[in-house]
Chain A
Amino acid sequence: MNMLNEKEIYELLSEIPDPEIPVITIKDLGILQRVELKEGNCEVYITPTYSGCPAMKLIEDQIKEALADKNIGNIIVKLVYAPTWTTDWITPEAKEKLRKYGIAPPLHSTVDKGVLIGKAKVLKCPQCGSQNTEMISQFGSTACKALYKCLDCKEPFDYFKCI
């Protein structure tokens, strides 16, 4: 079996879905950073969305599992903090997938800067598209989401908050 190169390994890992939001991959989210082959080791660099993201261990396991039978030496998954993860890394295609899944995608990170002075932002309901929405809580079902509700269709929804 031929050894896979860095790019091929990266592409292989790009298919791994995010454990919390399976409609997008760890690459779409910007968690998967890069792959380096050195001295018989395969180093995979990942970055957490939030410091305490409990999915990181699972993602590490998924990476090891995906590469287990590829004959590429030791697989070392490294957690890096720089550059700092930002929702701006989520591609427009992935944002659209989030919306279809029922999660309001993050706006540009500069929009949430008003968070400290309490300026409200206009968020579209992912169900009916109405802009008549209101925040229920800054914190939602996972560290990366806030909880909103639509005042028109009355549906609650998650918002992938910008950081």
Chain B
Amino acid sequence: MTKQEALFSYTLRLGDNALILGHRLSEWSSKGPLLEEDIATTNMALDLIGRADALLKYAAHVEGKGKTEDDLAYRRGEREFLCNLIMQLPNGDFGYTIARQLIVSAFDFCLYEELVKSKDETIAAISAKAIKEVKYHLKFASDWTLRLGDGTEESHQRIQKSFDDIWMYTGELFEMNEVDAILIKEGIAVDLNALKARWKKIITEVLLEATLTVPTDAYMQTGSRKGVHTESLGYILAEMQYLQRAYPDAKW
């Protein structure tokens, strides 16, 4: 694998994560439990899709085959996507969405804080932008975890179950492969193992304050680094890519 191929794959991974979670959050539009939460989830979706736009644009540039960010978003098959499994999980109830968001936003916070120092200028610039937004996402997810965890018996049970159910998708966030090895050597990527303790500390602090229990690590799901996804991704793409698949080159 060349450095260019590794950079393409790495940028796709970052971009796909933002795109797919952004798409999931956008599904809350007009369905939020309160107007403010409806606006908040779709605002976060907007931040994520904006970040995906910047990253996929850069991925297309790195690949150098004349593709655009739209080609990458709308014309790749499921197996070519590199987003983590956790980003694909259906929204569930609002508590489930919050649990997923806390886990991902804490991860993004640790990741992008390091990527700001990347030797790749474009990744560093996009990361500097992303980190400012991620802080708001993390704050939002932390606040709601506290409210639901330390809320009623019902809300406590439901968000605890959400964390327990999602936990098996957290191990994969930190998986690394040849792509990481090449880019870490170049000072472009981050050693994900080094982020784990910090991520766990953020999650633990919020969960304990919310009177929740941090799930114990057991069997962890895996696959996305190889393009093997949950069944949900196919459904997301079917909806997201429908227009460009049915009417190729259709313009708005």
Contact = CB atoms under 8 A, between A and B. Distances in A.
Interface of A: 48, 50-54, 80-82, 84-85, 115-116, 118, 136-141, 143, 147, 161, 163
A147 B143 CA distance: 16
Interface of B: 22, 36-37, 39-40, 43-51, 53-54, 121-122, 124-126, 128-130, 132-133, 135-136, 138-140, 142-143
A139 B51 contact: no
A143 B49 CA distance: 12
Contact of B46 (A54, A82, A136, A163): A54
A116 B125 CA distance: 22
A57 B143 CA distance: 33
List the 5 shortest-distance A-B pairs measured between CB atoms, nearest first. A52-B50, A51-B50, A52-B46, A82-B125, A81-B125
Given A138-B136, A138-B139, A141-B39, A50 B125 contact: no
The secondary-structure label for the interface of chain A is loop
Contacts of A161: 136
A163 B132 contact: yes
Contacts of A137: 36-37, 39-40
A53 B139 contact: no
A116 B47 contact: no
A141 B53 CA distance: 22
Given A51-B129, A147-B36, A139 B53 contact: no
Given A138-B140, A139-B40, 4 more contacts: A116-B135, A118-B142, A139-B140, A147-B36
29 contacts: A48-B129, A50-B46, A51-B47, A51-B53, A51-B126, A51-B133, A52-B45, A52-B48, A52-B49, A52-B53, A80-B125, A81-B54, A81-B125, A81-B128, A82-B125, A82-B128, A85-B129, A115-B139, A118-B139, A118-B143, A137-B36, A137-B40, A138-B143, A139-B36, A139-B43, A143-B46, A143-B47, A161-B136, A163-B132
- Most interface-central of A53, A82, A141 (chain B CB within 10 A): A82
A32 to B, nearest CB: 17
A115 B136 CA distance: 7
Contacts of A48: 50, 129
A118 B135 CA distance: 11
A5 B99 CA distance: 54
B40 A138 contact: yes
Contacts of B46: 50-54, 143
A51 B135 contact: no
A124 B113 CA distance: 31
Nearest to B41: A139
Given A50-B46, A51-B47, A52-B49, A84 B40 contact: no
Contacts of A84: 125, 128-129, 132
A77 to B, nearest CB: 14
Contacts of B132: 84, 163
Contacts of B37: 137
Contacts of B143: 118, 138
Contact of A50 (B22, B47, B135, B138): B47
Contacts of B125: 80-82, 84
A53 B50 CA distance: 7
Nearest to A113: B135
Nearest to B202: A116
A161 B137 CA distance: 14
B3 to A, nearest CB: 22
Contacts of A54: 46
